[in-house]
Amino acid sequence: MHATDSSSESRVLTPGDPEYAPEVAGFQTGFALRPARVWAARSAREVAEAVGYAAGEGLPLGVQATGHGLPDAAEGGVLVSTRRMDAVRIDPGARTAVIGAGARWGQVVEAAAPYGLAPLNGSSPGVGAVSYTLSGGLGILAREFGYAADRVRRLEVVTADGRLREVAAGSEPELFWGLRGGGHGLGVVTELEIGLVPVARLYGGALTFDASAVDPARILAEYEAWTRTVPENLTSSLAAVPYPDLPALPPHLRGAYLISLRVAFTGGAEEGERLVAPLRRIGPAVTDTLREMPYAQSPSIHNDPASPHAYYGDSAVLSELDVKAAAELLAATGPAAPMMCVVQLNHLGGALSREPEPPNAVPHREGRFLVRVLAVLDGTDRAAARAHFAGALAPLAPATTGRFLGFAFGGGDRGEGLYPAATRERLAALKRTYDPGNLFGGPHGGQD
């Protein structure tokens, strides 16, 4: 059974409805979400109805497309489910895409590929394109083309007054600044127009080493030195994954501790081979998937897990990478850690360090690396994971300049370090203007 508002055909679910549980379920399974009502929205008008209802009842409101994050603002309030609003329209002449609130990056990549174009998507095709972009968006082509938020042309957003606004550089420029990188607390974005880049193919993949055969400290040192030599059109990361010794895993992964170096290079394969040659000399690779590929195959570079699971995580933007401190981090999060942890180091710089025109709210452009730490959870030990991360990240504190909103995994339950003071104050002024009653919560509270 579902409730229907007499003035519309919006589908509104409550906890007693059989469709309620699957509607609130998302990729993040670690934390239960129990909104009082769920709006299964199909249009901007229905989103506006949900906002009006929540404001009128004094209830908080959150938004969920894929549920990779956790819209805490919806707890006990209203959740707008945008998964049905997943239209993608490509204009190959203008090199733009118009993306609905529920569209996933895989859909956008697939739609743009026939025209030799690509969005600034992330590594996982299942992540919601709009929520990713609002948080900044650090993708696989980032060093060459910048953050996903840097390519936003226009947004449609429902603000707390229930009004659907079209926001661009020439209309409401301050809100345009804040929505691009400022997170999810200023309204519900129902549609996004982004610029695409002319990338049809790339050279990329991963080199994976067994950390029992190749010293992790050596891998870190060689990788850090190598990043100082590469051009801007090469974006890379390092991932360290200790696999549990479980029968359900393939034999080659059971109990293994693997460190992967992932590469995406928009130049030719011959030049790509020359650039990665120093990485191959680090030691024997367990797997080597580096090759030329159509851009549509780029998710294979990272091979992010596709199945929903429970996790919690944090991040730190680094002005420099102290290899000794990073080795201490790997030791604290490796096989001996009290919980399974995954560490990723993203090489920053290049276009990421430059402000777009017009500027946006994406912070920490001075960073040279981003470290991300994620723990696999059973849903009960968020506090234990946070405490463990605090100790594991401590050696990197002297070079830490802040945290990154897009990788405040598992609900993003604290706001310190996300923005420098001037950006934080400017976003707070926007909040007072467009959401004075705090309908959408803080920077983590809204659109996931």
Cα separation, 422 vs 125, in Å, equals 34
Nearest to 136 by CA among 149, 124, 146: 149
Better pLDDT: 371 or 71: 371
Question: Under DSSP, is residue 12 helix (H, G, I), strand (E, B) or coil?
Answer: strand
Mean pLDDT for the stretch of residues 369-390: 87
* Residue 8: predicted pLDDT: 47
Contact (CB, 8 A) for 27 and 68: yes
Strands 37-40 and 78-81 turn out to be parallel
Nearest to 141 by CA among 87, 100, 90, 196: 196
Directed axis angle between helix 216-227 and helix 269-280, to 10°? 140
Residue 322, phi then psi, degrees to nearest 5: -80, 110
* Residue 9: predicted pLDDT: 56
Dihedral (CA of 294, 300, 302, 304) sign: positive
| Sequence letter at residue 140 | I
Burial 360-378 (b: 16+ CB within 10 A, else e): bbbbbbebbbbbbbbbbbe
Confidence of residue 311 (pLDDT cuts 50, 70, 90): confident
Confidence of residue 1 (pLDDT cuts 50, 70, 90): very low
| β-bridge mates for residue 167, sequence order | 155
Cα separation, 229 vs 104, in Å, equals 34
* Residue 445: predicted pLDDT: 38
Contact (CB, 8 A) for 257 and 242: yes
Cα separation, 130 vs 376, in Å, equals 25
Query: Which whole-number Å values give the CA distances from 259 to 212, 219, 242, 244, 249, in the listed order?
Result: 10, 8, 9, 15, 17
Tell me the per-residue pLDDT of 131-144, one tens digit each, with 9 for 90 and over: 999 999 999 999 99
Q: Which segments within 219-337 are labelled E, that is strand?
A: 234-242, 257-265, 287-288, 291-294, 311-318
Could you tell me what percent of the chain has a pLDDT over 90?
80
Q: What is the residue whose two structure tokens read 């650090």?
A: 138
Asked which of 37-46, 54-63, 74-83, 313-322 is least confident by mean pLDDT, the reply is: 74-83
Sheet holding 11-13, edge to edge: 3-4, 11-13, 37-40, 78-81, 61-64
Contact (CB, 8 A) for 377 and 385: yes
Question: Which strand (E) or helix (H) includes residue 389?
Answer: helix 382-393
Q: What is the DSSP letter of 243?
A: P
- Cα 441 to chain center, whole Å? 19
Compute the mean pLDDT over every residue in the chain, rounded to the nearest whole number.
Answer: 92
Dihedral (CA of 376, 379, 384, 386) sign: positive
Structural tokens at position 172? 């409401």
Confidence of residue 441 (pLDDT cuts 50, 70, 90): confident
Contact (CB, 8 A) for 62 and 77: yes
* Residue 73: predicted pLDDT: 61
Neighbours of 268 (CB within 10 A): 13
* Residue 3: predicted pLDDT: 39
Q: Is the pLDDT of residue 380 over 50?
A: yes
| β-bridge mates for residue 128, sequence order | 104
Cα separation, 265 vs 143, in Å, equals 10
Q: Is the pLDDT of residue 172 over 50?
A: yes
Cα separation, 35 vs 18, in Å, equals 15
Q: Is the pLDDT of residue 223 over 90?
A: yes
Q: Is the pLDDT of residue 67 over 90?
A: no
Q: Is the pLDDT of residue 442 over 70?
A: no
Tell me the per-residue pLDDT of 395-435, one tens digit each, with 9 for 90 and over: 999 999 999 988 876 545 577 899 999 999 999 999 999 99
